[in-house]
A and B are shown apart, each in its own frame.
Chain A
Amino acid sequence: MSVIDHILGPRLEPDLVRKHALRFGLPGFFLLAARVLLLVSLFLPYWQLELHAPQYPDNLYLIAYVNHLEGDVAEIDTLNHYIGMRPLEEAARIERSLGVYILIGFVILLELASYIHTRWAVLLVLPALTFPGVFLLDLYLWMRHFGLNLDPEAPLSTAIDPFVPPVLGKGAVGQFETIAMPGPGLWLSIAASGVLILALYFHRRAYLPLLRRQKEQSQKEQGN
C-alpha cells in the first residue's frame, strides 16, 4: 500500500455506496454545503462598525469585506487623523489582497477533503473551520496595533490616550459611540465551520468502520 493510498484511505465499492447512500453521502454533502457558504460569504460584509455622533444623524459606517473596505472610509480617516490614527487603507493590506484567494484555497481543500477517507481529511478541513476565529483575531490585532500606535504629532494627541477599539460590541471615542458587529459574511463562515464539524462527525461515522475493517484484514493477512 503506497503512502497516497494510506492517506486516501479505503475506496468504496459501488454496492456498498448503494446500500448505505445516506451514510456515505452525508460527509460529502456537508463539505459541499460548507464550500457554498464560504463562496457566498465572499460577496458579503464580514464586519461592520457603526459610529454614532450628534452631527451625523445618519451615522457613519465602516463595512469590511474579505478583500475591501466600504462605507464612510474617507470621512472616518478625516476624523481619525485628528487623533493620529493611520488611514484605514493601511490596515490588513496583505490580508485583503489575498483574502479571496485564501478562501478559494479553502474551498479547494474542502473539495480534496471529500476524496480522503482517513483522518487526514481533518487537516484539509481545519483551515476553513478555524477561519472565523482567525479573522476576528487578525482584526483584533490590527485594531490594537492602530489604537495603540497613534501619531504623537496629531492635533488631538494630547487629548486622547491610546486605546484598543473593541472588535465586537460598543466602544467610545470623543463624541462618537462605536458599535462593532459581525456581518452576514462572517455569519456564513461561522455557519460553514458548524457544517464542517458535522461533516467531520459523519465522515468519522462513515469511514472509521471501513478503516478498522481494513486494518483487521491486513493484520489477518500478516498473521497468515
Chain B
Amino acid sequence: MKRRRRGTWIGLGVVASLAALSTTVAGQSLSDVQKVAKERGLSTADLLAAAKTYTPSGMIDEYLIFSSGGHSGQVFVIGVPSMRLLRTIAVFTPESWQGWGYGTGNEILEQGLVNGKANLWGDTHHPALSETNGDYDGQWLFINDKANARVAVIDLRDFETKQIVKNPLTLSDHGGAFVTPNTEYVIEGGQYATPLGSTFDTMDNYQENFRGSVTFWKFDRKKGRIDKERSFAMELPPYWHDIADAGKLVSDGWIFLNSLNSEMATGGIQDKKPPFEAGASRNTTDYLHIIDWRKAEQVYKAGKVEMVEGFPVITLETAIAEGLMYLTPEPRSPHGVDVAPKGDFIVVSGKLDPHVTVYNFNKIQKAIANKTFSGKDPYGIPILDFDAVVEAQVEVGLGPLHTQFGPDGYAYTSLFLDSAVARWTLGGSYGAGTPEPDWTLVTKTPVHYNVGHIGVAEGDTVAPDGKYLVSFNKWSVDRFFHPGPLLPQNFQLIDISGKGTNMPVLYDMPIGMGEPHYAQIIKADKLHPWSVYPEIGWDPVAQQMDPMAPKPRMERVERNGSTVEVYMTAVRSHFNPEHVTVKEGDHVIWRITNIERAVDATHGFALPQYNINLSLEPGETATIEFVADRAGTFPFYCSEFCSALHLEMMGYFMVEPRD
C-alpha cells in the first residue's frame, strides 16, 4: 500500500514533463493529476515541489530540524522534507501537555531560578546538537535562553530536558549554545554588558565596571549533565557579544565570537544623547574575538582565576598575559561567525556591509606567531592586522547574516534586507567542488520574508549533507491566512541538491508558536530514541530506575503521622488505588507509575484543583508532593485519551476538613 502510493507520487513529479504514463488505480491517472493541478492553479514546478516533499502516511522523514522555539521557551522538532511538526520539547517554560511545571520537571525548572526567583519564560535561540569529532552524534541537545542567560541540556533518548544551568555572571546570552568538536564544552557568550553578576552601577562607569563574558560549561557525557564544578568563564571587554562558533579540525581548540558596540556607547536618548542604535554603529568595524579555549582550560586548571559570584573567571589581564585572546576587525554589527567544514575558514557577515568576510585560520595563527598587530583595544587586547588574516571578501547582497555550508564547496548566506538566500563559492581546497570560479556569488533565491538564520542539513559540521536548506524567516506577510495581527513565522524549505542557479523553494511551514532563531538539521537515522522507557518504574529526571516506583500489585496508601504516601499505578483503563482520602493539611507524596509497555500508551494524571497534570509515558514514574490545603472532593483523571474506557479512568481524592 505504502509502496504503491509512493510510486504514484514519484510518478507525479515526472507527470508534467512526461506525456505517457500508465496508471492502475481508477481516479488516480495522469489526467486526474492534471485536472487537480489546473483546478488549484498549480504549475509544473509546484507539482515537482510536491513530489519532492509530499510524505504519504507512514513514510518517515529523512531529516529532523531541532529548532529553537524563541519566546515559547521550547524546542520544536520538525521533519524534513515534510515540514511537519513532530514535537515541542518543553524547556524553560511550563507546558501543560507534557506536564512540564505541573508536576513533572518542576525541579529542573527550579534550577533556572534567576537570583532565587522563578522566571518562567525563556527565549530560546541557538540549539546545539552534541558532536563527536565535529559531527552530530545524535545524543544530546543544548539550547540557550537568551533572555535569562541559561543553558539547558536535553537528552535525545527521550527528548526531555534534564538540566538547566543559570549563568551567574550575566543576565543575557547570545553566543550560545555552541559545542566544541567533541562536546567537551558548551559555550555560552554573554550578550549585553553589565557589571559581572549584574550588581548595581550607572552608565558613568560603563568602561570601568561593565564587562562581557564567555562561559565554558564542562559537559560530562557519562552523566549527561553540565558539571558546574569543572566549568569556568573568561572576562571580556564591555562590548556586546553576539554569536560564537567553535573551531574544528585545523582550528580545533579555538572559538570565535562576534561583538557589536565596540564603541562602548551608553545611549541616553532621553538626555538628547545618541541612542544605542546610532552610537553602537558609529565605527565601520567591530571586533571578532579569537579565543584559545584549550590554553584557557589550562590556565583555569592552573588556578589562575578569580572567583566572581562563586564562579571561576579568567580575568582580562590574565587572558592577555597568557595569550588566550586576540581581536581582529570585522564588519560592524555582525551576526554570523561560521567555521567552514574543514575548520580553515571563518565566515563573518556584518549586516550593514554587503560582503561576507572570510578569515583564514592559518593566517590568523601566523599573525599571532609573528605578532602582526595593528594595535590594541582599550583593554590591551592585541588586534590582529585585518589584511594579514583575511582570505576573501565576497559581495553577496544586502543584510548578510548567517552562513551554512554544503558538501560540495558552496556556502549559503542569509540576506535579511534582500530577503533572499545567497549561494556562493568557497575557494581554497573547496574550489574544485563547484563549476563556478572561487569566491563568487552564484545565485540568490528570494525567501518570504526577512530571513534570520538558515540551516543546511548538517551544514555546520565537518561533513555537511547539503540537499536541503531551511530559511527561518521572521516575517510571513502574505504567505498565509492572517490569524489576527500576530502572524506566524515562515520556515521555507529550499532544495539545494542542484548546482548553479537551481535552488528552488519547495514548501512553506508556518510557525505559530514562538519566534524561532537558529535550528540544526540532523539525519534522522543518527537518532536512537526510546519508544517506551526501558523499564517499568523509570525516573526520567535521573534517567534510571526509581527504587521507590510503585509496581503492580504493590499499590497502597501509607500514612506516617501527617505524611501520606500514595503508591499508584496507571494502566488502561484504571488508576489503582482509585480512592485516596487524606486530612486537610496532610503532606502528600504521590508516586505514580505508568505500567504500560505498549508504544504510545501514555497516561495523564490530572488533579486540576491542585494545579497538577502529569504526562506519564509507558514505564515512567513521577513523584509529586503537595500539602492538601484545600478540603473537598476532587476527581482526578487520565488526561490523555488512552483507550475506549478513557473517560472511566478516574478516581476521587477526598480531603477531609480539619473540623
Taking Cβ atoms with an 8 Å cutoff, the residues of A that contact B are 57, 72, 74-75, 78, 82, 155
Give residues 604-659 of B contacting A (CB, 8 Å).
644-645, 648
> Nearest 9 CB-CB pairs, A to B?
A74-B597, A75-B598, A78-B572, A155-B645, A78-B571, A75-B597, A78-B596, A155-B573, A78-B598
- A sample of 19 inter-chain contacts (CB < 8 A) reads A57-B58, A72-B597, A72-B598, A74-B596, A74-B597, A74-B598, A75-B597, A75-B598, A78-B571, A78-B572, A78-B596, A78-B598, A82-B572, A82-B573, A82-B644, A82-B645, A155-B573, A155-B645, A155-B648
Taking Cβ atoms with an 8 Å cutoff, the residues of B that contact A are 58, 571-573, 596-598, 644-645, 648
- Report the nearest A residue to B552, measured CB to CB: A74
Residues of B within 8 A of A75 (CB): 597-598
| Complex Cα–Cα for A151 and B16 (A) | 62
Residues of A within 8 A of B58 (CB): 57
- Report the nearest A residue to B597, measured CB to CB: A74
| Complex Cα–Cα for A37 and B644 (A) | 46
Residues of B within 8 A of A78 (CB): 571-572, 596, 598
Residues of B within 8 A of A155 (CB): 573, 645, 648
* Interface of chain A: mostly helix, strand, loop or mixed: helix
Question: In angstroms, how far is the closest chain B Cβ from the Cβ of A60?
Answer: 9
Question: In angstroms, how far is the closest chain B Cβ from the Cβ of A141?
Answer: 27
| Complex Cα–Cα for A72 and B597 (A) | 9
| Complex Cα–Cα for A75 and B648 (A) | 19
| Complex Cα–Cα for A27 and B451 (A) | 85
| Complex Cα–Cα for A47 and B453 (A) | 58
- Report the nearest B residue to A79, measured CB to CB: B572
Residues of A within 8 A of B644 (CB): 82
Question: In angstroms, how far is the closest chain B Cβ from the Cβ of A156?
Answer: 8
| Complex Cα–Cα for A82 and B645 (A) | 9
Question: In angstroms, how far is the closest chain B Cβ from the Cβ of A57?
Answer: 8
Question: In angstroms, how far is the closest chain B Cβ from the Cβ of A117?
Answer: 55
Question: In angstroms, how far is the closest chain B Cβ from the Cβ of A71?
Answer: 11
Residues of A within 8 A of B645 (CB): 82, 155
Residues of A within 8 A of B571 (CB): 78
Residues of B within 8 A of A57 (CB): 58
- Report the nearest A residue to B644, measured CB to CB: A82
Residues of A within 8 A of B572 (CB): 78, 82
- Report the nearest B residue to A74, measured CB to CB: B597
| Complex Cα–Cα for A78 and B571 (A) | 8
Residues of B within 8 A of A82 (CB): 572-573, 644-645
| Complex Cα–Cα for A155 and B648 (A) | 10
Query: Given A74-B597, A82-B573, A155-B645, list of 10 further CB < 8 A pairs?
Result: A57-B58, A72-B597, A72-B598, A74-B596, A74-B598, A75-B597, A78-B596, A82-B572, A82-B645, A155-B573
Most chain B C-beta atoms within 10 Å of own C-beta, residue among A72, A75, A78, A82: A78
Residues of A within 8 A of B598 (CB): 72, 74-75, 78
Residues of A within 8 A of B573 (CB): 82, 155
| Complex Cα–Cα for A112 and B571 (A) | 52
Residues of B within 8 A of A74 (CB): 596-598
Question: In angstroms, how far is the closest chain A Cβ from the Cβ of B539?
Answer: 20
Question: In angstroms, how far is the closest chain B Cβ from the Cβ of A53?
Answer: 12
| Complex Cα–Cα for A78 and B643 (A) | 11
Question: In angstroms, how far is the closest chain B Cβ from the Cβ of A55?
Answer: 9
Question: In angstroms, how far is the closest chain A Cβ from the Cβ of B600?
Answer: 9
Residues of A within 8 A of B597 (CB): 72, 74-75
Residues of B within 8 A of A72 (CB): 597-598
| Complex Cα–Cα for A74 and B619 (A) | 12
Question: In angstroms, how far is the closest chain A Cβ from the Cβ of B425?
Answer: 47
Question: In angstroms, how far is the closest chain B Cβ from the Cβ of A168?
Answer: 27
| Complex Cα–Cα for A12 and B82 (A) | 80
Question: In angstroms, how far is the closest chain A Cβ from the Cβ of B479?
Answer: 35
Question: In angstroms, how far is the closest chain A Cβ from the Cβ of B104?
Answer: 23
| Complex Cα–Cα for A53 and B632 (A) | 43
| Complex Cα–Cα for A104 and B572 (A) | 41
| Complex Cα–Cα for A57 and B598 (A) | 12
| Complex Cα–Cα for A75 and B643 (A) | 13
| Complex Cα–Cα for A75 and B572 (A) | 10
- Report the nearest A residue to B600, measured CB to CB: A55
Residues of A within 8 A of B648 (CB): 155
- Report the nearest A residue to B645, measured CB to CB: A155
| Complex Cα–Cα for A72 and B618 (A) | 14
Question: In angstroms, how far is the closest chain A Cβ from the Cβ of B297?
Answer: 48
Question: In angstroms, how far is the closest chain A Cβ from the Cβ of B109?
Answer: 33
Residues of A within 8 A of B596 (CB): 74, 78
- Report the nearest B residue to A77, measured CB to CB: B571
- Report the nearest B residue to A55, measured CB to CB: B600
Question: In angstroms, how far is the closest chain B Cβ from the Cβ of A58?
Answer: 9
| Complex Cα–Cα for A72 and B644 (A) | 20
Question: In angstroms, how far is the closest chain A Cβ from the Cβ of B659?
Answer: 38
Question: In angstroms, how far is the closest chain B Cβ from the Cβ of A122?
Answer: 48
- Report the nearest B residue to A60, measured CB to CB: B598
| Complex Cα–Cα for A57 and B572 (A) | 19
| Complex Cα–Cα for A157 and B596 (A) | 22
Question: In angstroms, how far is the closest chain B Cβ from the Cβ of A20?
Answer: 60
Question: In angstroms, how far is the closest chain B Cβ from the Cβ of A175?
Answer: 10
| Complex Cα–Cα for A56 and B312 (A) | 55
Question: In angstroms, how far is the closest chain A Cβ from the Cβ of B466?
Answer: 33
